[in-house]
Structure 1
């Protein structure tokens, strides 16, 4: 121990980046050019010969790397098929035979597994034909890989069903505990069910590797690019499907958060873009109020929070809805303060963190721009839309279309009217909410009061 310490005394060891070492042929070519050795004709012949050696070496190296990448696809597919077979043999068959789950729960859990297994088995058979058949194998199977989006769409629901069934179904809980510990399985069912979700992104990585190690001169190069492009399209489609599902789920949660679930904000094509708390300045600038803002693809809604957690049922009371096509955004200062103009409505808003306020400004401007562009490509909607408040909200079927189609009388109930009515008990609302509809009227009322 002492000797090793003594050996290092007086030497300062610093981390250094290793120098790039040229291949022998490239190094020799560099020396010949620098030293101006040989005659022009001889030098040209030598350099040309060295370049041929380089190209031969590169081609050989790429071929080895490509073969390794193709083999990885093959072994990876074989491993994946084994995992699918474990689901089929050790979980699906016994559960179905013993009727451990109801038919609907079984379908929710394993509905697409059989089809996925058959498709991937066909892909594996194509891959077995040889290393040069990779591109053709994926091009042949690509249209059927779209069923993965169906599986991805139902994946969260299947996990929820599995968890709920384990808690309520003792037979299932005992069966899973026994089966998951078997030597042939040694895996949890939940971990096996996620493998199809991971598969398409895995194909994209593996195919990208093969393309990178294939020279453009290779006869399969264009087919490889096509197959990679198709896999990327499928991966993007699955991602957008999952995002759409999450968006829809959050919209439904938000609908439940509104008192008495009104106004109706869930409608086809409407997407949630951003939500959060902003401070809203009163008309006279003396006070500000915390409000929960929800930016959607065609409207902006803000609500008074009745509970600390806005995700709880009946935790939000809708104050106002602004149609985006009538909104304009004006930045007041660099500190995240901004104004929203929407016909006779003027909102002055800010966030305690300036960066978050700037994010809201960017999100609002982008949403307005996108909505206006989309409106130009679709059938023109009524241009008579205006901001809707309280009692106006309950007169129309959908949020953000006032004036629009009046509600039918059977939907016009007292409870629904109460949800959007300004009450005297809302002390922090009395000045702030009335001020924007007609500020001069508000001043007049104060004078007479």
Structure 2
């Protein structure tokens, strides 16, 4: 089976037998587990250890480091010492033992570790931001590690999302695996039992996953805005973004601008030159509290609307009537629209 699947992959063919499909799913489980363990090692043995070494010198409290990384050491130990070796062994003998359900059942008693990590996640993000702002040595250690090749140009926050998202990944792979598994296959009872337990844990993680996706977007915006300090905050919820035109005071021209809408503020930004990715400068922040939005009419410029707040009033032009409607009706803007 292994040789057949490899040959199909080389030639880009996708007509696989059911056994080959099962092997590909099991192989994906193994490969993603290897990558996951590498991420856990980075969190546990690099970030956490380096920060704890500095904390032990009295530079900042060791409880801060423990509060950020929670039980990551236990999660890392289980996956690196037990689950990954078992998967590697099973894939090495796949032709004679085509099953993964029994191995994933070993994961289920350890799902409580994930519940603890997920529960602590928001607190960890708050601690990380607070001490990055407060302690230059703390921030310097993180920036130094993030600059290393092993980090893949990702922030510590990005890496810390992995355990939050891992259990739903197991659920997805198990569902796919069971679809391909014959009804009378010896692995079906174990795989079904594993899916039931892991699926329940994944459901409980849905809120945390949504928060993690929001955090990931906040991190992206943080980088685009030249590291605006208060963007990555658990209370901030990203809602909408997009290009817009700013009408000049005398309606003589329209200037390219960009909007980021959050649950608590609208950022009015100016694009700036960058060789790598989109970059913007924040020109104005308008708080949602007291902000008013109304449709306007302009003979020279179609699809216009006005945003006014305590800080500033903006005369804007959308790219189309639909785009204008989307901006006017989006929550939380919709609740403060003036007709």
Normalising by structure 2, report the TM-score. 0.51
Structure 2 CA distance for aligned equivalents of residues 74 and 281 of structure 1: 57
Q: 1:287/1:270 Cα in 2 relative to 1: closer, same or farther (>3 Å)?
A: same
Q: Using the TM superposition, give the Cα deviation of residue 228 of structure 1 relative to its aligned residue in structure 2, in angstroms.
A: 5.4
Corresponding position: 1:278 with 2:252: no
Q: Could you say which residue in structure 1 is the equivalent of 2:59?
A: 102
- Provide structure 2 residue ranges, at least 5 long, that are not aligned to the other structure: 1-10, 88-99, 269-279
Structure 2 CA distance for aligned equivalents of residues 301 and 196 of structure 1: 27
Q: Could you say which residue in structure 1 is the equivalent of 2:107?
A: 137
Matches within 5 A, 1:260-299: 278-279=246-247
Q: Could you say which residue in structure 2 is the equivalent of 1:197?
A: 161
Q: 1:21/1:192 Cα in 2 relative to 1: closer, same or farther (>3 Å)?
A: closer
Kept in 1: contact 2:167–2:201 (CA 8 A)? no
Q: Could you say which residue in structure 2 is the equivalent of 1:337?
A: 303
SS of 1:208's partner is helix
Structure 1 vs Structure 2 CA RMSD: 6.0
Structure 1 CA distance for aligned equivalents of residues 67 and 198 of structure 2: 27
Corresponding position: 1:366 with 2:330: yes
Corresponding position: 1:117 with 2:83: no
Q: Could you say which residue in structure 2 is the equivalent of 1:224?
A: 195
Kept in 2: contact 1:332–1:338 (CA 8 A)? yes
Q: Which has the higher contact order (CA 8 A, sep 6+)?
A: 2
Kept in 1: contact 2:105–2:194 (CA 8 A)? yes
**Partner deviation per Cα, 1:397-431 (whole Å, 9 max, x = no partner):** xxxxxxxxxxxxxxxxxxxxxxxxxxxxxxxxxxx
Q: 1:317/1:91 Cα in 2 relative to 1: closer, same or farther (>3 Å)?
A: closer
Q: 1:103/1:93 Cα in 2 relative to 1: closer, same or farther (>3 Å)?
A: closer
Structure 2 CA distance for aligned equivalents of residues 82 and 299 of structure 1: 37
- Provide structure 1 residue ranges, at least 5 long, that are not aligned to the other structure: 1-17, 24-56, 256-267, 303-308, 373-384, 388-449
Q: Using the TM superposition, give the Cα deviation of residue 72 of structure 1 relative to its aligned residue in structure 2, in angstroms.
A: 3.6
Q: 1:63/1:279 Cα in 2 relative to 1: closer, same or farther (>3 Å)?
A: closer
Q: Using the TM superposition, give the Cα deviation of residue 277 of structure 1 relative to its aligned residue in structure 2, in angstroms.
A: 6.0
Q: Using the TM superposition, give the Cα deviation of residue 224 of structure 1 relative to its aligned residue in structure 2, in angstroms.
A: 2.5
Structure 1 CA distance for aligned equivalents of residues 42 and 327 of structure 2: 43
SS of 2:331's partner is helix
Q: 1:62/1:221 Cα in 2 relative to 1: closer, same or farther (>3 Å)?
A: farther
Q: Using the TM superposition, give the Cα deviation of residue 212 of structure 1 relative to its aligned residue in structure 2, in angstroms.
A: 2.2
Q: Using the TM superposition, give the Cα deviation of residue 137 of structure 1 relative to its aligned residue in structure 2, in angstroms.
A: 1.8
Structure 2 CA distance for aligned equivalents of residues 341 and 85 of structure 1: 47
**Partner deviation per Cα, 1:328-355 (whole Å, 9 max, x = no partner):** x36768964335599xxxx99453xx52
**Partner deviation per Cα, 1:9-61 (whole Å, 9 max, x = no partner):** xxxxxxxxx897979xxxxxxxxxxxxxxxxxxxxxxxxxxxxxxxxx62x33
SS of 1:371's partner is helix
Q: Using the TM superposition, give the Cα deviation of residue 210 of structure 1 relative to its aligned residue in structure 2, in angstroms.
A: 4.4
Q: Could you say which residue in structure 2 is the equivalent of 1:409?
A: none
Q: 1:301/1:67 Cα in 2 relative to 1: closer, same or farther (>3 Å)?
A: closer
Q: 1:154/1:229 Cα in 2 relative to 1: closer, same or farther (>3 Å)?
A: farther
Q: 1:349/1:74 Cα in 2 relative to 1: closer, same or farther (>3 Å)?
A: closer
Kept in 2: contact 1:273–1:297 (CA 8 A)? no
Q: Could you say which residue in structure 1 is the equivalent of 2:42?
A: 83
Q: 1:115/1:288 Cα in 2 relative to 1: closer, same or farther (>3 Å)?
A: same
